[in-house]
Structure 1
Amino acid sequence: MLNERLWIAIALATRSALGFCVSPPPRTAIRRLSVLDDIGNKLEEFAAPPGDEVLPKGPFGVVVTGGAAGVGYAYADEFLRRGHRVVICDVKDPAAAVEALRAKHGDFVFGETCDVSDAKSVRAFAAAAKEKLGTISYWINNAAINGGRRPFLEVPDDVIEAVVRVNLFGVLVCTKVAMEIMLDQTSTPGHIFNTVGSGVRGGGTPGYVTYGAAKRGLPQMTDSLNAELEGKTQGYTWPPPGKASVGVHTLSPGMVFTDLLLKDSTPELRKFPFGVLAASPEEVAADLVPKILAVEGTGTFVEYLSKERTLSKFYNRFIRRQKSQVIDDDGNVIRRDGVDYNADGVRMLY
């Protein structure tokens, strides 16, 4: 159910708008539009991230895996815009991404090649990130692959293995290495964010069986780690006394217009739900980064498609009749002049 305060706000906005129009304006349509806008604005207000005035003061050191493209690149961009220092990694050379970010924000971003499915590669990357940042306050496990959209029996064995190794093993080993670093940082708390996707709430993911299964394991992993961090491991004194505070959290960016979403998609999927609920990487990062910075303790679920934002998106599309700026009425990606896109219609960020 929706937040009670949200329903009250909607009711008040509706009553206020109708009351304002006791003397009918020349056109009834203007009155109706005013009511719709008041309600829509109230929904957007409730969906908004926390303001800068409540966020901790930095700068902080931030690690983003899978940061050379998509929402990972947008996270790095937003953290840098806010004055923080960032190290990104990617399985491909992230030099071009680093160059683009430095052109906007200066020399406060670094990049490393890292295969998160390989423990030795992760440890080498973590050591380099620690050296460059000094203190790592936020570690975002964003790197992921989905193996393409197709029936499970058509997925090659090596693709199944790769999807599980990146999306589950990779998050496990990255989290372990990040915790080791953060527990020894007595100067500041550390926070790790594990990115979930389709299947996280237990529903089926036809076409993405392996991806959904791997992502479904992350909430259990995070819940178990939180119990350990709270000292609930019977027979062990853990976490050890004198260590720094570490929080492990869940990060849900929802549907983002990236390769992960659009590759192998159909016009029907692109019209709904993508055309209604999906957002650009920049929109998602602008919403999630302040939420990430605002977390305390451990076990926070940070999401873009909250109940309030989901309702706002449905309201804007079906009540206000606002159309998607990315998907047209036929389910095609809208390509704008002067903008670069890849073969799947994904807009290039740099």
Structure 2
Amino acid sequence: MQRLILALALQACAAYVAPQSRAPRGTILRDSPFDGIGDLLEQVAAPPEDSSLPSGSFGAVVTGGAAGVGYAYADEFLRRGHKVVICDIRDPADAVRALKDKYGADAPIFGEVCDVSDTASVRKLAASSKEKLGTVHYWINNAALNGGRKPFLEVSDEAIEAVVKVNMFGVLICTKVAMELMLDQSGVTGHVFNTVGSGVRGGGTPGYVTYGAAKRGLPQMTDSLVAELEGKTQGYNWPPSSPGQVKVHTLSPGMVFTDLLLKDSTPELRKFPFGVLAATPEEVAQDLVPKMLATTEAGTFVEYLTKPRTLLKFFNRFVRQQKSDIIDDDGNVIQKSGEKYNEDGVRALY
């Protein structure tokens, strides 16, 4: 295994570091070749530096923002001086309160109850977000439902309907409403990020058939919108003349230690791949928020588990022999003193 990881790491370093000259001049590698490779992987896996990001205060809408990675996105946007509206199917008042406790009573964080599978609810969210933020620069379709890890024939009809309505219809209607809002913002380029999940690259998702099928359709949806917005729809006068612009992208947080990942999981799954590749919501947000802010081209695939980061995680585990501080050797979630966890081992963020 070490030889395989070393070979892959060397290949990644050659492919990513040399052409892009990512290693700063004067970088001194450690004596061990393993340490040197690890250093290079860390450099190429790092998110954009703050100095390269656009300046100013921007408005962001995050669906499914009362918990998990959605809450972590909001936290990271606020930390960077931006304004945020979070929505959730349940009242996000506690999440808003926690963020205000962290950043001050005047922190520009707002909450809305919203069912993303209901058109009227989404349009209400858009109107409220415009009122509270003034300008919406980023709309992150993060809300999702997986229906639990079960064989397809054991999934209820109601659960199938709910998963498709949230993960597919919800993203469609949220994107449409966000686009309408952004195209009406004079002189502003807005960005919509559609979150993908397991199955997005075409592999099977046993135990998550409905979830995987719905998520698989989102890249196609995004690619179609990119083509439409670039005027590639034959026979139609599209895109329409509008005061503002909008660009649509794909967002991939990878494996995140949330209910969506850990519910109905087994010790084997938690040991691998979760214990090697999964990350906390905070880690994912600290990586993806600057990547979203740095995005300028239409149709960008913004992901946490890039090839360099995936190689780095394998390298740390199998070459450096670093163990997970989230999952123990038996596949159990390590519960740390002072933290709160639910029955599936998910840590509360506030």
- TM bucket normalised to smaller: over 0.9
Residues 192 and 249 in structure 2, CA contact (< 8 A), matched pair in contact too: yes
Quick one: distance in 1 between partners of 2:184 and 2:12? 41
> Pick from 84, 87, 92: which aligns with 1:86?
84
Map residues 284-295 of structure 1 onto 2, 5 A cutoff: 284-295=284-295
Quick one: distance in 1 between partners of 2:335 and 2:50? 34
Q: CA deviation at 1:3?
A: 6.7
Q: SS where residue 112 of structure 1 aligns?
A: strand
Counterpart residue number, 2:95: 97
Quick one: distance in 1 between partners of 2:14 and 2:173? 40
Residues 17 and 40 in structure 2, CA contact (< 8 A), matched pair in contact too: no
Q: CA deviation at 1:239?
A: 1.3
* Letter aligned with residue 151 of structure 2: P
Quick one: distance in 2 between partners of 1:329 and 1:2? 28
Quick one: distance in 2 between partners of 1:58 and 1:165? 36
Q: SS where residue 205 of structure 1 aligns?
A: coil
Residues 187 and 243 in structure 2, CA contact (< 8 A), matched pair in contact too: no
Q: CA deviation at 1:63?
A: 0.2
Q: TM-score, normalised by structure 2?
A: 0.92
Quick one: distance in 2 between partners of 1:297 and 1:316? 32
Residues 276 and 324 in structure 2, CA contact (< 8 A), matched pair in contact too: yes
* Letter aligned with residue 228 of structure 1: E
Deviations 1:105-152 (A, max 9, x none): 233100000000101110011111110001000000000010000100
Map residues 1-350 of structure 1 onto 2, 5 A cutoff: 2=12, 4-6=14-16, 8=18, 34-106=32-104, 107-350=107-350
Quick one: distance in 1 between partners of 2:131 and 2:95? 20
Q: CA deviation at 1:267?
A: 0.3
Q: CA deviation at 1:7?
A: 6.4
* Letter aligned with residue 45 of structure 1: Q
Q: Which one is further off, 233-242 or 281-290?
A: 233-242
Q: SS where residue 226 of structure 2 aligns?
A: helix
Deviations 1:60-98 (A, max 9, x none): 000000000000000000000000000000000000000
Quick one: distance in 2 between partners of 1:35 and 1:112? 52
Q: TM-score, normalised by structure 1?
A: 0.92
Q: CA deviation at 1:243?
A: 3.2
Quick one: distance in 1 between partners of 2:36 and 2:186? 48
Quick one: distance in 1 between partners of 2:186 and 2:65? 27
Quick one: distance in 1 between partners of 2:110 and 2:58? 14
Deviations 1:188-218 (A, max 9, x none): 2100000000010000000000000000010
Q: CA deviation at 1:234?
A: 1.1
Q: SS where residue 200 of structure 1 aligns?
A: coil
Q: SS where residue 248 of structure 1 aligns?
A: strand
Percent identity between the two aligned chains: 73
Unaligned ranges ≥5, structure 1: 11-15, 21-30
Residues 64 and 89 in structure 2, CA contact (< 8 A), matched pair in contact too: yes
Which structure has the larger Rg? 1
Give the total of aligned pairs.
Answer: 333
Deviations 1:271-299 (A, max 9, x none): 00000000000000000000000011310
Cα distance, 1:3–1:212 mapped onto 2, change above 3 Å: farther
Counterpart residue number, 2:25: none
Please report the RMSD computed on the Cα atoms of aligned residues, expressed in angstroms: 1.8
Quick one: distance in 1 between partners of 2:13 and 2:131? 44
Q: CA deviation at 1:244?
A: 1.4
Cα distance, 1:319–1:3 mapped onto 2, change above 3 Å: closer
